[in-house]
Structure 1
Amino acid sequence: MVSNASSCCSHRPIQASKEGLLRTLLVQLFRAHPEVIALVASSRWESLCLFNEDPRRLSQDELEDMFRHAVKHISSRAKLALFIDGLDEFDGDCNALISLLQECLASPIKVCISSRPWTEFENAFGNYPRLKMEDLTYDDITKYVVSRFEANSQFARFQKLHPQFASDLSHSIADKASGVFLWVTIVVASLLAGMMAGDRVEDLENRLNLLPSEMDDLYGRIIESIDPLYREHAAQLFKLVSACRGPPSLRVLWYADEVKFLDRAINEDPSAVPLEEVLGRLEDMRLRIVSRCRGLLEVQSAPDEYPEKPDRGNAVYLHRTFAEFLRRPDTQQRLDSCLTKPYDSGIRISAAYTSLAKLWMRPDTQNRIASLRFQLHLNDSLDHAGDAMPSLSCDVVRLMDHLREECASLRRYSYKENKFRDPGGKWQSKLTGIELNSYCSDAREEFLCLATAFCVGEYIRAKADQRGVVVIAKRDPSKERLKLGALGWTLQGNPELLRTSLLSLVPLTNPRSASVIKLLLDKGAKPNKAIKQIGFRKATAWEELLAGAISIIERSLEEANSQVTECVHLMLEGGAKVTVGTVQRAIRISRECTVPRYLTWSTNQYPYDMGAVRRNASLGSVYVQLKVMKKDRGAPFRVT
C-alpha cells in the first residue's frame, strides 16, 4: 500500500501543519484498510455507530496516537510505503516532525521524503540512502536548453561566431539550475532575449551571473529589470491579479485596468459595445500583459463558450511559486514603491465585475446560464468592494448604488425558499410557502442585506441605520391565497413587516467579519433586540450569530476559529446577554438551519453542503465558556 502527502501545493494553514500531514496520511490509510478504523479509534467508531455523531474534535495528540496504531496494524499484514514531499514547506517545529518520521522508520515500512537540504533534516536523515534531484535531471535540463537554443535562428548565428561559448552555455545553465526546471525556462528566455538584442559574449555571461539561483531572488530581479516606462503599470497588473480570488479573464482585467474605470463601469452599457471593439480590447490587454510582465504572468487561452461575449482566456501565474512570492508583505511593499500614487485593486476589480454583471443581466430568467453568470458576477463585485480602502468610501457607495439600481431587482435570494417554520407535514409546508409568498420584498433593502453578507464595510457604514435593522418585505394582501385578512394574519403569528438584523447576516468565516460587527455595534445595533419572524417565531441578532458560531466550530473549521472567537468577544463587549435561554435558543437555531443564515443571502444557485457536522455543542459547555469569555478577553470560543 502507498500513502503520500505534500505541503508544496498547500493553500490553507492546516495543510502545511503537522496536524494536516497526519490527517492526510490517516485518510489514505483508512481508505485502503477500513478494517483498522475500529481498532485505532474505537471510542469514536462506537459513537458513530450508535449515535451517528462524533463527540469531540480530534486533538493533535489523538491524531498521532491513531497514526502510530494504524501504521502498526497495517504493516503487520501488508507492505506499506509513505511518500512525503516538501518537509521544508511545513510550518511549526521541525523537531516534532522529525521525531514522528523517525518513529515510522523504526517500523517495518518504507518511507521516502523530500526536502531542501536543511541542517535539521541533514542531521536526522543524513545517513540514509538519498539522491539529489539536480543529479537526476542534469541531462534532461541540458537537452532542454540545447533544444531551445537550436530552435532559435539568432542563436544559430551566434553559435557560428562563438562556438566554444555556445557549447559551454548549456552546461553552465544546467550547473546553476540545481535541478529547478522553472528557473531554467526563465533564464533561457532571458538569454534568448539578450541574443535578439545583440548582446555580446560578455553581456550574456554577465546576464547569467547576475541571475540568482533562488527563485524568489530571481522573481525580484526580473521585476527590477522591467523597463522603467512599464514598471509602474506592471506593478498595477501584478496587484490586480494577486487580489483576484481566481485567474481573472482578460475582460475583467481590461475593465479593472482602465484609467477612468469607475466612470466606465457606471456609464457604459457592455452589451452595446460592438464585438469588433470588444475583441480589440481583449487583444490590447493580452499585449499589455506580454510587454509589461516579462513572462511572470501569462495568458492562458481557451475557446469562448459564448463567442458573442468573448473573454479570450485568463491571466495566470508563470508558476504557483510566483503567486506565493506576490502574496508576501515585502513583495507588496516592493510593488507599492513602483507606484507614483495610491492604487486600490479591490474597487477596480469590483467595478470590472459590475460591468460583467450588467453584460449578463437579463430580465427573462428562462436563460439559466445567463442568470447564473449574472448572479456570480454580482457576488464577485460585492466581495471585492469589501476589500476597498476606507479612503475610497465615496467611490464604493457610488458603485454599489449603481449596482443596486441596475441589478438588485433581478437578484434571486435563497432566503425566499427557506421555511420559517419547521413543517412536520405537507399542509404545514404548503402553508409556510403561502405565507412567504404573501410578502412584497424591497429590492433596495435586500441589496443592503446582500452587501452585509459580503462584508462591504464602507457601504454598510453609509447605508445602515442606527439600529442595524432593515425591513426586507411587507405584507401584501393582494398576494394572499387564503383571504384571512389582517386578523387571520395576526392569528397565524405573522408580522406585517418582515425585518432582519444586519448583525445576524455577517459571515463569521469572512476575514472582514470582525470589523463589520464592530461597525454595526458602534452605529448602535442592538444584539439583544428580538425580531418577529413568521409563525410566532422570534430571535435576536445575538442568538442568530451565536448559532452560526456554534455551527462553524462544530464543523471543525480550524482556520476560522480565531475569527469566530473575535466576533463573539465583540458581541459580548457590545452588550450581548449570556443566559441559559439565549444559549438554548442559539443551539436550537443551529440545529434547525441546514444552511447558515448569511448564505441564504449570498448564494442562490448552488446547494450548500454542510458536510459531516458533529452536533456536539452542549448547553452547559457553551454557557460556561461564554461566561469565561466575558471575564477573559483572551479566552477562545468552544462548544464542548
Structure 2
Amino acid sequence: MMNPLDVLSLAGTIIQFVDFSSKVLAGTNELYKSGAEALAVHQQLGLVVDDLAKMSKRLSDSYWGLSGTGVISTLSDDAFMFICRDASELSIELNNKLSSLKVTASGKRRKWETVKQALKSVWTEKDLTALTNRLTLLRDSIQMHIVVDLRDQLDSISSNQEVRFDHLDYSTRTIITALLTHQGEVSKGIQDQTMAITQLLGRMEILAEKHAFPSGIVQQVDNIEVNQNKSLILAGEKTSQNQVLNNSEWHEKALRLQITQYLVQNLKFPALKEREEIIADVYRGTFEWLFNDSHESTPWPSFTRWLEHGSNIYWINGKAASGKSTLMRFICDHSKTKEFLENWSAPLPIVIAKFYFWNSGTLVQRSLSGLLRALLSQILEHCPDLLPVCFPQRWAKIYTDSVRPFSEVNQKFHSMEMEYWSLTELQAAMRSLVSQSPQHFKLCLFVDGLDEYEGEPSAITKYFSVLAQVPWLKICVSSRPLLVFDDVFGSGPSLRLQDLTSTDINHYVKSSLQENVNYQHLCVEQPIEALTLIRNIVSRADGVFLWVRLVLQEIVRGLDNRDSLRDLQERMEIVPQDLEELFSSMLEKIEPFYRKKAASIFLIVRAANVHQRSVKSLDTLMLSFALDHGTSRFTDIKFKFQGLELRNKEINDHLKVRCAGLLETVPKYSPGFEYLGHRVTYLHRSVREYLERPDIHQRFAEHSNGRGFEPHTALMSSYIKELQISEPRKNILNQPSSLPLFLATVLHYAHDADIAGSNAYVEPLDKFATLTHSARCKSIIWAPAKFSSFLHIATKWDLCAYVRVLLERLTSETKGIVAHTLLAYALAGTDEYYVHGMEQMDNSDYRRDRFPPSNRMIELLLQYGAQPNKKLKDFPALREWTAFEIAVRNVCAILPPVDTEESENRQYSEEEKSLVSNHLAIVKLMLDNGADANTTLTHQGRTITSRKLLTETMGKYWRSQEWKVDEMFRMKGGKLEPSMIKKWIMTRGKYWVGKY
C-alpha cells in the first residue's frame, strides 16, 4: 500500500495542474499581471509554458518515484497510478503544443491580440473542447479516488507517518489534524475537507523545495494582526511568476491569514459591541473595592483570589438596576483583571472573552448563538491557528476555492456568500476550542445578564456549568438573584452587589452634586444639612443606582430653580423608593398636551421590541417615519441629508420632553440604513418591564385611539419609506442575506395590524409588494416557483384584510378559482415558508413563529368560493387531496400514529391542545361549508372514513373530544362504519350523561 501522504501530495499537484490548464485553455486574456497591469499575450504565453514545464516535470518525477517504490500495490493504488500516468501524459502533450507559441529571446514573435487567438493557432475548437473534457474527467477521477478510496487511510497520516508529518510546519500540521479529526463528523463536508488536505500537501511539497521570499518577509506576515487589512500587502506583490501555486511561503501565509480574517469577521454580528458601548461609564473612584479585597477581610468570597487561584464560576448578583452591567464592564476593562488572570494561566497566555446579554436588544443579542459567535470571534482573533479546528468544513471549502490559479484572492473573498451559522455548528466549535485550549492558552469568560437570555434560564445555567468543568477555563457571570441561578451558582463564590455599593453611591452622589454651582453655595451656607441630604439619598437608594440617577435629575432641577436644602429634601422624599411607583409618577408628570403623542411613541417602541427578529433596531429616523405615517409630511417630504439630520435631532428632543426620560437614544453600531440616527431604547430593563405591563399598555392604547393610531402599520410604513430613500449600496433589497428577515419583519407587522382589526396597512403593503417584486423573484426563498404572487404570501401570513381587498379586484368568474388556489396556502399556515426562510439564517437567533392555519382566512376563502371537496391541483405537494382531506390530515399530523402507545402516559400541554382545537375547528368550518362528511382517505396504509379516523385519534389522545368530533360529523350526515356501531351504542349514552 502506498504512503497516504505521498498519494495526497501528488493528487494535490494533479488538481493544481488541472485547474491551471483549464484556465489556460479557456483563453482568459489576463492570466498574469505585473502589478496592476496585464502582461502582453506573448509574455503570458511564455510564462504559461514555463509553469507548465515545471508542473509536467514534477508530475513525471512523482509518478516514476511512486511507481518505483517496490511497495505491493492494491487495486486502489493501481487505479491511482493510472490517473497519475494520464495526467503526466496530458501535461507533456499540452507543454509540447504550447512550446511552439513561446517567443525566444532571438526569435521572431507573432502579435496575437488574445490568448484564445493564440491557442486556436495550434488547436481547433473541437480539440480544445476535447482537451477541456479530458481535464474535467481527470479532476473528477482524482476527487473520487481521494474521497472514496483514500478516505479510510487518512486516519493513519498523523499517527503512522510521523517522520513525513513532522516535516510540515506547525500551522499546516494543526490544520491537517483538524480536518482529519472531523472527517467522520460532518459528512456534508468530507469532500471539501479531504480536498483541502490534498491541496495543502501539494502546495507544501513545492514550498519545501523552494523559498521565493526571505525569512524576514515571512516573519513580517506572521506579525500582521488579523484585524488589519491585507489587501495592500497582496497588491504590492508582483504576481507575474508561477501562477500554479502563487509559489511563495509568503503567499501561503497571507492566504491563510485572509481566510482567518474573513471567517472571524463573519462570526461577528453588526450589533456585537452595542450593549457594551451603551452601558454607563463607571464613575471615577467607584468599584475599586473589588480589587482591594482579600479573602480574610471581606464578607464575600474574594474576587481577586478567584481570578488568581480559583476555578469554575464566580457569580455577581444583584437586584434590578443595582449596577451589575456597569460592574462587569469595569471588570473587563480594568488592567488588574488581566494581571491576576496571567498569574493563574502562567506559563500559558490568558485569553479573555466577554458578552453582554441584552433583553432590549435584537434577538441575536440575547440568544445562545449570539453568545457563541461573540465569544468564538474574540478567542479566534487571539488564536487564529485554531480556526480550522473549530470550523473545519468552512475553512476547507474557502481554502480549496481560494487556491485556484489566475484569480485575485480579494475578488474571491468578496464574491463568497457565507452560509449562516447554525447553533449546532457553533456549539461544536466551542467544544473543539475548549478541548484544544490547554495546549495553547487558558480561558476566562465574562458574561453579563444571564437573566436577559432569551431561552430558559435553566438551559443557560446548565450550559455554563458544563463548560466550566474543565480546569483551564473559568467564567464570571452576572444576573438578578433568581432562584434558578441561586440553585446552581449559590454554593460557589459570589457577591450580592446591592450590599456592597453604599460607598460607591455616596461617592457618586457627592461628586455629582458638587459639580453644581448652586449646591456649592448651599454647602458653604449649610454644610451639615448638605451632607445630610447626601446621606438620606444613599440610605433610600438601597443599592439601586438607577433610582439614584433619577433622583439626582430631580434634585438638579430643584437646584436650577434655586431651591433650598429643605426643598431639596422634600423633593427627594416624595420620589417613590419603589421603581414602578417612580416610573408611574414620571408618566403622570407628562404635560396633558403631549400624552397622546407620548402614548404613540411608547406603543411604537413596544411593537418594535416584540419583533426583535427585525433586520434593524428601532432608530430615531425609523421612529420619525412611523410617527408621521398617515400625515402629509410622510408622503411629501423631500429626503435630503440636511432633512434627515433635522429629523433625528427633532426625535431626540421629543423623547426628552414627551416621554419623561423613560426612553433614551444611544449611538448605533450596526451597518446599513445608518444616516445620522441613534437607536431608541428603554432607559433600563426595569423600565421596559413596567411600560410593557398589560395595564400600562392598555392605558397607552386608550390615549392614542383618538388619533386613530395603529403602531404596527406605522412601523411597517417606516420600513417601506426607508426602502424608498436608501442609497442603492445600503438598500436591503441588494443584500440577499438580509432580505428574507426584512420581508418577514414587514409581514409580522402587517399580521399584527390585521389581528388588531386594522385595514390601514393594506395600502402600504400593496406598495411594498411592488417595491420588492424584483428582489423576491431573485431570491430562492421568495421566488415565484414557491409563491406565484404576493397574494399567496399574504394568505399564509393570515392577512385577511389585504386578501379581501385583492380578491375584490377580481372578476366574479375568477374570484372562486383564485380563492380555491389560496386555500392550500392557508391550510399550510406559515410553517413551510417561515421555517424554510429562517433555516437559511441562524435558526437559533430567529425563532420560527408557526402561525397555525387560520380559521379567519379559511372562512374568508370559503366565502369567496373555495371548495372543500375539490382537489388542490395548483399546489404540487397536495394535488392528490381535497382541501377537506388536508384539514383532516392536519389534525392527525400533530399527534403520533394511532397504533403507538405514546399517549398512555402523555400529558398534553395547553398549547398542544389549542393547536389540535384549532385544526378541529377548521374541519368543522369546512363541514359547515359543504365538505363531504363521508369522505374516505388512505391513512397509514388503510382506507378509512374521515369520521372514524378523527374519532379514533381523539379517543386515543384526547378522550373528552372523541364524541364531540363524532357528533360534528353526524350532524352533517356522516355515516358510521359497521365496526363503530356497537361501540357507539354502548358508550354514547354513558358519555353524554357523564359530561352533560
Secondary structure of the corresponding residue to residue 872 of structure 2: strand
2:745 corresponds to: 380
Distance change in 2, residues 1:535/1:516 (3 Å): closer
- The CA deviation string for residues 581-608 of structure 1, in whole angstroms up to 9 with x for no partner, is 56659xxxxxxxxxxxxxxxxxxxxxxx
Matches within 5 A, 1:434-513: 446-464=789-807, 501-507=824-830, 509=849
Superposed, which structure 2 residues align to 1:306-325 within 5 Å?
Answer: 310-325=675-690
Distance in 2, matches of 1:289 and 1:460, equals: 37
* Residue pairs, 1:524-535, within 5 angstroms: 525=866, 529-532=870-873, 533-534=875-876
Amino acid at match of 1:398: E
Residue pair 1:87, 1:113 contacting (<8 A) in 2 also: no
Q: Does 1:198 align with 2:562?
A: yes
In structure 2, relative to structure 1, the CA distance for the partners of 1:173 and 1:559 (3 Å cut) is farther
Secondary structure of the corresponding residue to residue 530 of structure 1: coil
Instruction: Write out per-residue CA displacement over residues 244-287 of structure 1, whole angstroms, 9 at most, x where no aligned residue.
Output: 124411111001112634x555x45x8x6211112111211111
Unpaired runs of 5+ residues, structure 1, are: 35-76, 91-96, 115-130, 419-435, 473-496, 586-619, 634-640
Q: How far 1:205 sits from its partner (Å)?
A: 2.0
Q: Which moves more between the two structures, 448-457 or 371-380?
A: 371-380
Q: 1:547 to 1:140 in 2, by over 3 A?
A: farther
Equivalent residue letter for 1:334:
R
Aligned residue for 1:572? Answer: 923
Distance in 2 (CA, whole Å) between partners of 1:584 and 1:4 is 54
Is the Cα–Cα contact under 8 Å of residues 360 and 373 in structure 1 kept in the other structure? Answer: no
CA change 1:391–1:144 in 2 (3 A) is closer
Paired position in structure 1 for 2:619: 249
Contact 2:596 2:704 in 1 (8 A): yes
Counterpart CA distance in 2 for 1:398 and 1:566 is 34
Q: Is the 8 A contact 1:578 1:626 kept in 2?
A: no
Change (3 A) 1:3 1:548: farther
**Which residue of 181, 185, 198 maps to 2:549?**
185
2:602 is aligned with what amino acid? F
- Residues 536 and 205 of structure 1, relative CA distance in 2, 3 Å threshold: closer
Offset, 1:346: 1.7
User: What is the CA–CA distance in structure 1 between the aligned matches of 2:642 and 2:807, rounded to whole Å?
Assistant: 43
Question: What amino acid is aligned across from residue 829 of structure 2 in structure 1?
Answer: V
Q: SS where residue 502 of structure 2 aligns?
A: helix
Contact 1:353 1:380 in 2 (8 A): no
CA contact (8 A) 1:352 1:381 kept: no
Describe the shift of the 1:367–1:169 C-alpha distance in structure 2 as closer, same or farther (beyond 3 A). Answer: closer
User: Counterpart in 1 of 2:762?
Assistant: 397
* 1:272-291 → structure 2 map (5 Å cutoff): 273-291=639-657
1:289/1:298 contact within 8 Å kept: yes
Q: Which AA in structure 2 matches 1:564? A: L
Q: Does residue 292 of structure 1 match 2:658? A: yes
Q: Which position in structure 2 is the counterpart of 1:258? A: 628
For the aligned residue pairs, the C-alpha RMSD in angstroms reads: 5.2
| 1:542-585: CA deviation from partner (whole Å, max 9, x where unpaired) | 7777888899899x998964653343232233248899956659
SS of the equivalent of 2:772 reads helix
Residue 179 of structure 1 deviates from its aligned partner by 1.1
SS of residue in 2 equivalent to 1:501? helix
Following TM superposition, by how much is the alpha carbon of 1:447 offset from its aligned partner in structure 2, in angstroms? Answer: 1.2
Q: AA paired with 1:278?
A: L
1:334 maps to: 699
**Amino acid in the other structure paired with 1:383:** H
Consecutive unaligned residues of structure 2, counting only runs of 5 or more, are 1-311, 321-357, 361-365, 367-450, 832-848, 897-906, 928-932, 942-951, 966-996
CA contact (8 A) 1:16 1:89 kept: no
Please, which of 101, 108, 111 is the counterpart of residue 491 of structure 2?
111
Q: Distance in 2 between matches of 1:150 and 1:513?
A: 63
Question: What does residue 219 of structure 1 align with?
Answer: 583
Map Cα deviations across residues 24-49 of structure 1 (whole Å, 9 max, x no partner).
44444555669xxxxxxxxxxxxxxx
Relative distance call for 1:29 and 1:621 in structure 2 (3 A) is farther
Aligned to 2:500: 136
Cα distance in 2, alignment partners of residues 627 and 579 from structure 1: 23
1:12-27, aligned counterparts within 5 Å?
Answer: 20-27=456-463
CA distance change for structure 1 residues 5 and 526 in 2, over 3 Å: closer, same or farther?
farther
Structure 1 pair 20/544, CA: closer, same or farther in 2 (3 Å)?
farther
1:235–1:335 CA contact under 8 A, matched in 2 = yes
Q: What is the CA distance between 1:222 and its match in structure 2?
A: 0.8
Kept in 2: contact 1:84–1:112 (CA 8 A): no
Asked if the contact 1:543–1:583 (Cα under 8 Å) also holds between the matched residues in 2, the reply is no
Contact 2:663–2:680 (CA<8 Å) still a contact in 1? yes
Aligned in 2, Cα 1:312/1:550: closer, same or farther, shift over 3 Å? farther
Q: Which amino acid aligns with 2:529?
A: F
Per-residue deviation, residues 390-426 of structure 1 (Å, max 9, x unmatched): 78644222222233344334424766689xxxxxxxx
Which has the higher Rg, Structure 1 or Structure 2? 2
Q: If the length of structure 1 is used for normalisation, what is the TM-score?
A: 0.59
Distance in 2, matches of 1:33 and 1:580, equals: 58
| Residue 515 of structure 1, CA deviation | 5.7
Cα separation, partners in 2 of 1:112 and 1:560, compared to 1, 3 Å: farther
Q: Residue type of the partner of 1:169?
A: L
- Rounded Cα–Cα distance in structure 1 between residues aligned with 2:877 and 2:797: 28
Output the amino acid matched with 1:111: S
The answer to whether the 8 A contact 1:3-1:25 is kept is no
Matches within 5 A, 1:44-63: none
State whether structure 2 residue 772 is matched by structure 1 residue 407: yes
Q: CA deviation at 1:632?
A: 5.7
**CA distance, structure 1, for counterparts of residue 500 and residue 562 of structure 2:** 34
Structure 2 residue aligned with 1:605: none
Structure 2 partner of 1:484: none
Matched, 1:538 2:880: yes
Q: Which aligned segments of 4 or more residues in structure 1 are displaced greater than 6 angstroms?
A: 3-12, 80-84, 364-368, 389-392, 415-418, 465-470, 497-500, 542-554, 556-559, 576-580, 620-623
Query: TM-score of the superposition, structure 2-length normalised?
Result: 0.40
Percentage of matched positions with identical amino acids = 21
Instruction: State the number of aligned residues.
Output: 471
Partner of 1:354: 720
Deviation at 1:536, TM superposition (A): 9.4
AA in 2 matched with 1:570: A
Question: Which amino acid is 2:685 matched to?
Answer: R
> Which residue number in structure 1 is paired with residue 595 of structure 2?
231
Q: 1:365 to 1:227 in 2, by over 3 A?
A: closer
Paired with 1:471 and 1:415, the residues of 2 have a C-alpha distance of: 24
| Residues in 1 aligned to 2:956 and 2:765: alpha-carbon distance in whole angstroms | 42
Measure the CA separation in 1 of the matches of 2:870 and 2:959.
20
Kindly provide the amino acid, as one letter, of the partner of residue 388 in structure 1. Answer: A
- Matched residues in 1 for 2:665 and 2:919: separation? 44
CA distance in 1, matches of 2:521, 2:315: 48
The letter for the 1-side match of 2:827 is S
| Contact kept? 1:82, 1:112, Cα under 8 Å | no
SS of the residue corresponding to residue 574 of structure 1 reads helix
Match of 1:277, as an amino acid?
A: G
